[in-house]
Structure 1
Amino acid sequence: MILPLKEYEKRKIKYNSLLKKQQKFGHNITNLRLAVFILGLITLIIMYIFKKYILFDSIVAGVIVLLFYLAYIHKNISDKEQYIASLYAVNENSIKLLNGEWKKFKDNGEDFIDIHHNYSYDIDVFGDNSLFQWMNTAHTYMGRLRLKKILTEKPGNEHSICDRQSAIMELEPKIYFRQRLEAEGKIIHNKEQNPKELFSWIEESQDFILKKQEIWVLRILSIVTAITSLTLTIRIINYLLNIFWNTDRSLPKMFQAIPYYIPIFLISIQCIILRVKRKDRVKNLATAEKYNYNIKIYKNMLGHIEKYKFKSKYILNLYKELYNNECISASGQLENFSKICSSVANRRNMLYSILNPILMLEYHWNISVETWKIKSGKNFEKWIDVIGEMEALSSISTIKYNNPSWIMPEIITGSSRITAENMGHPLLGEKRVCNSLNMGESHPVMLITGSNMSGKSTFMRTVGINIILAYAGAPVCAEQFCCTIIDLYTCMQISDNLTNNISSFYAEILKIKNIVKASEEGKNVLFLLDEIFKGTNSIDRHTGAIILINQLSRNGNLGIISTHDLELGKMIDHKNSKVKNYHFSEYYRKNKIYFDYKLKHGISSTRNAVYLMKLAGIEIN
């Protein structure tokens, strides 16, 4: 972990230096713009005093052009500054992650919490202090959603996991690729906003705008109106200048040939045309404006992805979605759309109100938008899915980069099996205590007894999270790990539901019912049951547990059960028993309790409940 930490610290220093330089550059450009404006104004006053009218006109034009150019440079500097700041933040968060400060990260995936899911709620896949909060580097909606699906859906087969593993191993050393992809996504707007509206809008087409005859009529009319309006404008300006400067400058005859009422008439006609179905056009442009910034980010992210050459089959299949039949890249197609949407977004100024009646910009922008939709829109959702997939893969490959000692699990076929050596909880950092595990056909069920706080629940979560990581194609926190593909079910975090009038015991029964149903349907199940049937009396708990364990111990199922009922340990003596006893224990030193969190064979021989009662002030002899 030392090497990744040093790399992040080095990159943080680098981007901090670049950020300061960029900020200084931007500040200088701002000062230069002010200086140009002031000097230009002073020069114009001098030219006016000395009646240098030709120089006056030239200086006005020059100052305006220069100010616009400096504004353009300043915008590019601001964009670059934002991007560098994002890269700086990526490395800063990476350092916090390795230092164990990831629990403060804002995106904990709480929007994905589902208390009815087979296992995600019990194992804290989402929410505070969750697996998602620890590993996620995706920032687009589709990236976050894709990572959520990978963590909560059973993989189809071992080949899909192996293909994803290959992609992750290829991405792991490409730190610049991963960080830039994250930095681009980090500055996107509305990260949690579902782009369904955007997808639907791009799939829709307003055919009434795209009739060729109408398009040519609109274009010709706009050109004629623009030319005649320009001549009228020049005549008006010349007239005002003659009055202002007290001169008598005349224009060439070409500017006087067109009567003033023609452009006024044409503009009036176009104003009437602009009223036709205006509501639909304005709505169309409003959507383009709304997603303008995000489309620009998508374009940048796709351009970044396309620059890299990968070899893994998994990523190569993704790349096929990024080129059309003419071999034009997705970023190239989206570049054109981004320019259109940027133009639309600039309509929030007075100049638009003046130019729209003359040029009918409203119509031409809609034509451009709809033309692009027909040509490229059908592939847009696929492109965004590729971005999401690459973000999810980058999140997983970052785990491998940050934890070089972790191993890639082996996914095997055959009867249900899980074996691990020195397996630890991925989220516990240096505090973790590792244990080994061997579950298979001969002893598929582990019955774990032990004192309160001795580590039973943590061990089950350790198994569950490493299984989830293995199925995601990620490295696992172990020295050796192999498993088959099985359906994971848990029953660990149970509470009353007063709204639905459900007690904690009944809520537990409902969860166990799902496990039993899955087993009866022929699925190979891995079940994790914490403190089984703790919400009822000891007799019913004991009887129910024995029956359930025997029912779930059929061939193909694996399970870990924790309990305080030491009598259940006697199941090992039953005929054809598939249960094996394990326990966690504590020890005392100078009237203080300590735990080693090491898994041991057999039934627990220690108890700490009485000791904890004494700590609570209960008088026990």
Structure 2
Amino acid sequence: MENIKSLYLKRIEKYSNLLKKQKKIINLISICRLITFLGACMFSMFIYSKSKNYYFTIISFLLWGVLFIVLATIHEKLNHNKNLVENIIEINHMGINRAEGKWKDFEDDGKEYVKEDHPFSGDLDIFGRGSLFQYINCTTTFMGRNKLKDTLENPKYNIGDILNRQEAIEELGNNIKWRQRFQGEGFIKENKDKEKRKIEGICEWCDERHDLYKKTIIKSLINLFSLCIISFIVLAFLFYGVYKYLALFSITISIIVLFYDNSNRNLLLNNVFIYKKYIQSYYKMINLIEKEKFNSFYMIQLKEKIIKSKEESASIAIKELIDITNSISDRANFFYMIFNILFLLDYRHMMNLEKWKDKWGVYLKDWLEVIGEFEALSAISILRFENPSWTMPEFEKESLYIKGKELGHPLLGEKAVKNNITIGEGHKILLITGSNMSGKSTFLRTIGINLLLSYIGAPVYSKEFKCSLMDIYTCMRISDNLEKNISSFYGELLRIRKLIEGINGGRPVFFLLDEIFKGTNSFDRHTGAKILINKLSKENSIGLVSTHDLELSNLESENYNVKNYHFEEHYKDNNIYFDYKIKKGVSTTRNALYLMRIAGIDVKEE
């Protein structure tokens, strides 16, 4: 991890130096813009004072104006590059925080995605503080964040898809330059709910149609009318007379035409202008995807969704939309009113937008989904880049099987204690016993979260890992729900029922059960657990069950599908120590009385 941290530090140093140079150039361009503006005013006044010639004065002012516009364009581009560099510096700081284990301070932890009734996400720390989502999430758009959530929450990929995703994640993991540029271009520092509403608004806008602005006759009349206005104005200047009244009459008609449907048109044009920031950001991201030459089949397929041909691609289409929105932004300009009367610009903007929607609108949602998919893959590929020693899992197709060598919990990093695990070779259920705090629950979560990583195409924290495709079900963190008036015991029953429904659905199942039926008396707990374990052992499922009930260990002699494993502790100098290593057989140690003594309770063993 130190090598990764060093690499991030080097990139911060590189881009910090670049940022200093950019700021100097931007300041220089700003000074040049000011000088150009002052020069335009002073030089034009000087020309007029000497020559008294309007034409020379106007030409001089226009030439200075062109120079000012060129400098303004350069300034805008430099500012964008500066913002991009600042974003990349921030991205590398986040990388250092991950390397130092400070990722739990990241603001976005996806806590709103926590669902108590989800088959596994709550028990495996997929969302919320200290979660997998908080660790890897580097998405910057609503689409990317939502796609990453869906991927972690519902990984319904077949083995072929997973292998293709592994290849894609491997490629992206090694391409830090492209990944960080892609992430940097997507930085829209805005509330994700607000962005979501904007995205929904853009997609709804693409589906809307306003037939008035699509009619050929309207377009012809607008062009003809504009030509008449300009002609009458020119003729009025040249010949005066009746042309003056025709010019005034045509201008009056133009104003009346602009008042027609004005409020609705203003709303539509203003909304499109509001979307401009998002559209520009998405254009940069789409452009990066189109320009990059990917090698993995999965990303090539994704890229093909945004490119039809050289002449027809998402970047070309979105650039057209940006050009239209840029012209709409001129509506805030004072001089726009004059040109709007002369050329009926509002109508032309509406006609251009309707033409764009007819040609490209149906594809926009798909393009946004491609951006989201690339962002989700980039987030997952962080695991590959920052953990080069992790392994890409293999898959068993013939039977239900899990085998891991030196398997650790990915969210614990270097602190994780690694264990070997095999399920499916001669036994389908591991019954884990052990005293309090010995590591049973963490071990169950270690297997569960690594299995999830396998199913999304990510590397796993293991030296070797092979597994089957199964639906994951857990029953671990169950507590009373006062709002729903549900006790912890009833909550357990609901989770067990969901597990049984999953098994009855016909798909293979992997389950993790931690201290099941702990909400009832010892006799019922033992009887219920025994019945459930025997049933699960006969189904198309494998899994682990942790328990304090040592009598359940007798199942190994009664049911060949059950195998006993345990964790244990040892005592030294009146202190308790755990090695968190799994061992075969039944636990023979207990620490409840010792822990009570630590709590200050004087306990005498009989």
TM-score (norm 2): 0.94
Cross-structure match for 2:178: 177
Could you tell me which residue of structure 1 aligns to residue 547 of structure 2? 563
**Which residue number in structure 1 is paired with residue 169 of structure 2?**
168
Compute the displacement of 1:189 (Å): 4.9
* 1:499 paired residue among 483, 498, 514: 483
1:448-503 C-alpha deviation (Å, 9 max, x unpaired): 11122221111111111100110000110000000000110011111221111111
Q: Tell me which amino acid in the other structure corresponds to 2:223.
A: R
The answer to whether the aligner puts 1:293 opposite 2:277 as a matched pair is yes
| 1:425 maps to 2:409 | yes
Report the CA distance between 1:200 and its aligned residue: 2.1
After TM superposition, the structure 1 stretch with the greater mean CA deviation from structure 2, 85-94 or 417-426, is 85-94
Q: Does 2:576 match 1:593? A: yes
- In structure 1, what is the Cα distance between the partners aligned to 2:561 and 2:176? 47
Write the distance in 1 (CA, Å) between the matches of 2:590 and 2:488. Answer: 25
2:503–2:539 contact (8 Å) kept in structure 1: no
Q: Tell me the secondary structure at the aligned position of residue 347 of structure 1.
A: helix
CA contact (8 A) 1:139 1:191 kept: no
- Match for residue 589 of structure 2? 606
The answer (yes or no) to whether the contact 1:415–1:556 under 8 Å persists in 2 is no
Q: Distance in 1 between matches of 2:600 and 2:513?
A: 31
Q: Which residue of 2 aligns with 1:36?
A: 36
1:361-372 matches, cutoff 5 A? 361-372=345-356
Q: 1:370 to 1:25 in 2, by over 3 A?
A: same
CA distance in 1, matches of 2:282, 2:569: 54
Residue 303 of structure 2 aligns to which amino acid in structure 1?
Y
8 Å CA contact 1:415, 1:441 repeated in 2: no
Contact map agreement 1:344 1:365 (CA 8 A) in 2: yes
Query: Counterparts of 1:505 and 1:578 in 2: how far apart (Å)?
Result: 27
Give the 3 Å change call, closer, same or farther, for CA 483–218 of structure 1 in structure 2: same
Show the counterpart of 2:375.
Answer: 391
* Residue pair 1:451, 1:564 contacting (<8 A) in 2 also: yes
Note closer, same or farther for the CA distance 1:371–1:128 as it changes in structure 2 (3 Å cut): same
Amino acid corresponding to residue 139 of structure 2 in structure 1: A
1:112 matched residue in structure 2:
113
Aligned positions of 1:251-400 closer than 5 A: 253=238, 256=240, 259-324=243-308, 327-400=311-384
Determine helix, strand or coil for the equivalent of 1:561: strand
Letter matched to residue 183 of structure 1: G
CA distance in 2, matches of 1:450, 1:181: 48
Task: Please give the secondary structure, in 2, of the residue aligned with 1:97.
Answer: helix
Pairing 1:15-164 to 2, within 5 Å after superposition: 15-43=15-43, 57=58, 59-164=60-165
CA contact (8 A) 1:188 1:294 kept: no
Tell me how far apart the structure 1 counterparts of residues 274 and 114 of structure 2 sit (CA, whole Å).
Answer: 29
Q: Larger deviation: 58-67 or 544-553? A: 58-67
C-alpha change, 1:29 and 1:546, in structure 2 (3 Å) is: same
Name 2:220's counterpart in structure 1: 216
Aligned to 1:243: none
1:450 lines up with 2:429 in the alignment: no
Q: Deviations over 1:37-68 (max 9, x none)?
A: 44555556666776765665555444433333
Identify if the C-alpha distance between structure 1 residues 226 and 471 changes in structure 2 by more than 3 Å, giving closer, same or farther. farther
Structure 1 Cα separation of the partners of residues 305 and 415 of structure 2: 44
What is the deviation of 1:391?
1.3
> Aligned equivalents of 2:46 and 2:200: distance in 1?
59
Does the CA contact (< 8 Å) of 2:141 and 2:188 recur in 1?
no
Contact 1:441 1:555 in 2 (8 A): no
Work out the CA distance in 2 between the residues paired with 1:566 and 1:406: 35
TM-align CA RMSD: 2.2
Contact 1:188 1:293 in 2 (8 A): no
SS in 2 for 1:186: coil
Give the letter aligned to residue 7 of structure 2.
E
Describe the shift of the 1:67–1:326 C-alpha distance in structure 2 as closer, same or farther (beyond 3 A): closer
Identity of aligned residues (%): 42
Render the CA deviation track for 1:87-120: whole Å, top value 9, x for unaligned.
1111121121112111111221223222211111
1:522 to 499, 502, 506: 506
Partner of residue 205, structure 2: 201
Q: Distance in 2 between matches of 1:230 and 1:493?
A: 81
Residue 473 of structure 1 aligns to which amino acid in structure 2? G
Q: Distance in 2 between matches of 1:326 and 1:72?
A: 27
Compute the TM-score of the two structures, normalised by the length of structure 1: 0.91
Distance, in Å, in 2 between the alignment partners of 1:23 and 1:104 is: 30
Look up the SS of the partner of 2:348 in the other structure: helix
Once residues 278 and 235 of structure 2 are traced to their aligned partners in structure 1, the CA distance between those partners, rounded to angstroms, is: 40
Q: Is the 8 A contact 1:532 1:541 kept in 2?
A: yes
* In structure 1, distance between residues paired with 2:231 and 2:538: 85
Quick one: which amino acid aligns to residue 351 of structure 1? Answer: F
2:567 partner letter: F
Mapped to 2, the partners of 1:411 and 1:99 lie a distance apart of: 32
CA contact (8 A) 2:567 2:580 kept: yes
Q: Give, in angstroms, the shift of residue 389 of structure 1.
A: 1.2
Q: Is the 8 A contact 2:565 2:586 kept in 1?
A: yes
Unpaired runs of 5+ in structure 2? Answer: none
Aligned positions, number: 600
- On the 8 A contact 1:154/1:487 being kept in 2, the answer is no
Q: CA deviation at 1:394?
A: 1.5
Call closer, same or farther: CA 1:132–1:589 in 2, change over 3 Å.
same
CA distance, structure 2, for counterparts of residue 545 and residue 517 of structure 1: 17
User: Which residue is 1:551 aligned to?
Assistant: 535
Distance 1:497 1:349, change over 3 A: farther
**Within 2, Cα distance between the matches of 1:167 and 1:38?**
54
Cα gap change, 1:46 to 1:335, in 2 (>3 Å): closer
How far apart in 2 are the matches of 1:490 and 1:231? 83
Opposite residue 601 of structure 2, the aligned amino acid is I
Mapped pair 1:581 → 2:585: no
**Conserved in 1, the CA contact under 8 Å of 2:402 and 2:466?**
yes
**Cα 1:80/1:478, change in 2 over 3 Å:** same
Q: Give the distance between the partners of 1:284 and 1:503, measured in 2 at CA.
A: 52
Asked whether the equivalents of residues 229 and 358 of structure 1 are also in contact (C-alpha less than 8 Å), the reply is: no
